[in-house]
Amino acid sequence: PTGVLGVALGTILLPSLSRHAAQADDGEFSHLLDWGIRLSLLLALPASVGLAVLSEPLIATLFMYGKFNAHDVAMTQQALIAYAIGLVGLILVKVLAPGFYARQNVKTPVRIAMITLGCTQVMNLVFIIPLKHAGLSLAIGLGACLNAGLLLYQLRKHGIYQPQAEWGRFARRLLLAVLVMAEVLLALNWGSPFDWAHQPALTRTLWLTAMVVMGVIVYFGMLYAQGFRLADFRRKEH
């Protein structure tokens, strides 16, 4: 998700943001950033929850062959869940940082990255004792969220980004869709008729695919039922 969504959005946004910055069109600059943040949350949040909820079947299907046993699945699952916590932050960084680059401001994101690096190292030391290897993943994820939060704070502080209307309504509908999707995936995972460790690769793949497809249908179905339409997220520049 970080490469497919975060990097792609950052690559799309930077030229347009640079053009609006050169034209001193602050309104459209802010509108474009808002579009990128909303689209990131719309796709990154369910991806994060899906990775955490389906961590066991995902790892078992992809890696549990040969000497990679059930214990290895459980240990890798812990790291994946911890890493999933920071997925939204990792993707938002790719969207927020171009807001500075487009205005020829490299110092601010670099300074924030250095602060984030220091905080991540401290969290590594704090988390590695109680959580072991999962603590390292959690530190990286929380560091990414800190990075994104500081970038957003600086964008707001300097008046570069102003949130558009109806953010509260957007957040409520998004969270409801994610919660319903998570409940469905948990029910499918816990109610699966077999032990992932003792099934052939084809059975694992088919069941995992079915759960992913069901999660996608439920999530976007809930969004549609609440009034979300694809046209609402097409990039419109004035």
- From first to last of its 238 residues, the chain has per-residue pLDDT tens of 888 888 888 888 999 999 999 998 999 999 999 999 999 999 999 999 999 999 999 999 999 999 999 999 999 999 999 999 999 999 999 999 999 999 999 999 999 999 999 999 999 999 999 999 999 999 999 999 999 999 999 999 999 999 988 899 999 999 999 999 999 999 998 877 678 777 888 989 999 999 999 999 999 999 999 998 877 777 655 4
Structure tokens at 238: 């004035």
Is residue 42 within 8 Å of residue 88, measured between CB atoms? no
**Angstrom distance (rounded) from CA 54 to CA 91:** 20
Cα dist from 43 to 16, 117, 150, 181, whole Å: 21, 26, 21, 13
Other CB atoms closer than 10 Å to residue 166's CB: what's the count?
10
